[in-house]
Structure 1
Amino acid sequence: MKVFIESYGCTFNKADAQIMAGVLEDNDIQLTNSIEDADVIIVNSCYVKLPTENKIVYRIQKLQKEFPNKKIIVGGCMVEIDPEKLEKIGPDCSWIGPHQLNKTADVVEKAYCGEVTRECGFSKESKVNVNKVTDDSFIHIVQICEGCTGACTFCCTRFARGALNSYPIDDIVEDVRKAIDNGAAEIQLTAQDTAAYGLDTGENLADLIKEVSNLDGDFRIRVGMMHPKNVLRNVDEIIEAIKHPKVYNFIHLPVQTGSDKVLKEMRRGHNLDQYREIVEKFKKEIPDITIATDIIVGYPTETDEDFELTCNLLEEIRPSLIHLSKYQHRKGAISSDLKEIPHTVMKQRSKHLSKIKDSITKKENDELLGTIQHALVVEKGSKGGFIAKSDSYIPIIVDNVKLGDFIRVKITETTSTYLKGVLVD
Structure 2
Amino acid sequence: MSKKYCVISTTEGCATNLVENSQYKNSIGQAGAQLVSNVEEADVVIYNTCGYSQQMEDRAVGEIKKVRDLYPEKKIVVGGCLPSINKDSLKDIYDGETFRPGDIKKLFSLSDIDYDLIPEFDEQIGFDPNDFSSLSFKHRFLNSVRNIYFGIERAFGGRFQPLSNIVESAIVNNEYQTVTVSTGCLGECSFCSIKMAKGSVKSRPRTKIVEEIRSGLQLGKKKFWLLGDDIGCYGQDVGDNIANLLEDILSIEEDFSLVLNYMEPMFLEKYYDRLIVLLSDTRVKNINFPIQSGSKKIVFSMRRFYHPHNILKMMAELRKVNSQIVRKTNIIVGYPGETFSEYMESVKAVFYFDALVAFRFTPRKHSLAAKLPEQLNKFVIGYRFWFINLAILLRHSVVALTSLKNRVTSSVPRS
Smaller-chain TM-score range?
0.7 to 0.9
Going from structure 1 to structure 2, the CA distance change for 1:182 and 1:29 (only over 3 Å counts) comes to farther
Structure 1 runs (4+) greater than 6 angstroms displaced: none
Aligned to 2:404: 369
Going from structure 1 to structure 2, the CA distance change for 1:215 and 1:65 (only over 3 Å counts) comes to farther
For residue 29 of structure 1, report the CA deviation from its aligned partner. 1.6
Q: Tell whether 2:283 aligns with 1:246.
A: yes
For residue 134 of structure 1, report the CA deviation from its aligned partner. 4.6
Going from structure 1 to structure 2, the CA distance change for 1:174 and 1:53 (only over 3 Å counts) comes to same
Question: 1:111-158, CA deviations, whole angstroms, 9 ceiling, x for partnerless residues?
Answer: 9xxxxxxxxxxxxxxx99536375356322221111111111000111
Out of 91, 105, 108, the residue aligned to residue 105 of structure 1 is 108
Aligned to 1:144: 181
Out of 97, 115, 123, the residue aligned to residue 130 of structure 1 is 123
Question: 1:245-295, CA deviations, whole angstroms, 9 ceiling, x for partnerless residues?
Answer: 4331x2211111121111111111111232123213312221232211111
* Range with greater deviation from structure 2 (320-329 or 207-216): 207-216
Using CA pairs under 8 Å that are at least 6 residues apart, name the structure with larger relative contact order, 1 or 2. 2
Q: Tell whether 2:71 aligns with 1:67.
A: yes
For residue 222 of structure 1, report the CA deviation from its aligned partner. 0.8
Q: Tell whether 2:239 aligns with 1:210.
A: no
CA distance in 2, matches of 1:285, 1:239: 8
Indicate if the aligned counterparts of 1:23 and 1:105 stay in contact, CA closer than 8 A: no
Out of 352, 366, 370, the residue aligned to residue 332 of structure 1 is 366
Aligned to 1:234: 271
Aligned-partner residue type, residue 318 of structure 2:
F
Going from structure 1 to structure 2, the CA distance change for 1:338 and 1:32 (only over 3 Å counts) comes to same
Aligned-partner residue type, residue 97 of structure 1:
R
| Higher share of residues assigned helix | 2
Question: 1:46-84, CA deviations, whole angstroms, 9 ceiling, x for partnerless residues?
Answer: 111111111111011011112222211112101211223
Output aligned runs, 1:334-413, within 5 Å: 334-339=368-373, 340-369=375-404, 372=407
| Corresponding residue SS for 2:301 | helix
| Higher share of residues assigned strand | 1
* Range with greater deviation from structure 2 (134-143 or 58-67): 134-143
Out of 296, 301, 307, the residue aligned to residue 343 of structure 2 is 307
Output aligned runs, 1:48-87, within 5 Å: 48-87=52-91
Q: Tell whether 2:30 aligns with 1:37.
A: no
For residue 211 of structure 1, report the CA deviation from its aligned partner. 2.7
- Structure 1: unaligned runs, 5 residues or longer: 112-126, 374-409, 411-425
CA distance in 2, matches of 1:133, 1:15: 6
CA distance in 2, matches of 1:295, 1:327: 10
- Structure 2: unaligned runs, 5 residues or longer: 115-119, 130-173
Going from structure 1 to structure 2, the CA distance change for 1:203 and 1:48 (only over 3 Å counts) comes to same
What TM-score does the superposition give when structure 1 sets the normalisation length?
A: 0.77
Question: 1:330-389, CA deviations, whole angstroms, 9 ceiling, x for partnerless residues?
Answer: 02110101242111111111111111110111111122227659xxxxxxxxxxxxxxxx
CA distance in 1, matches of 2:343, 2:278: 35
What TM-score does the superposition give when structure 2 sets the normalisation length?
A: 0.79
Aligned-partner residue type, residue 16 of structure 2:
F
Aligned to 1:6: 8
CA distance in 2, matches of 1:96, 1:160: 10
Aligned-partner residue type, residue 361 of structure 2:
Y
Indicate if the aligned counterparts of 1:128 and 1:167 stay in contact, CA closer than 8 A: no
Q: Tell whether 2:226 aligns with 1:189.
A: yes
Going from structure 1 to structure 2, the CA distance change for 1:4 and 1:221 (only over 3 Å counts) comes to same
Question: 1:205-242, CA deviations, whole angstroms, 9 ceiling, x for partnerless residues?
Answer: 22222333444765322111110011111123223333
Going from structure 1 to structure 2, the CA distance change for 1:331 and 1:31 (only over 3 Å counts) comes to same
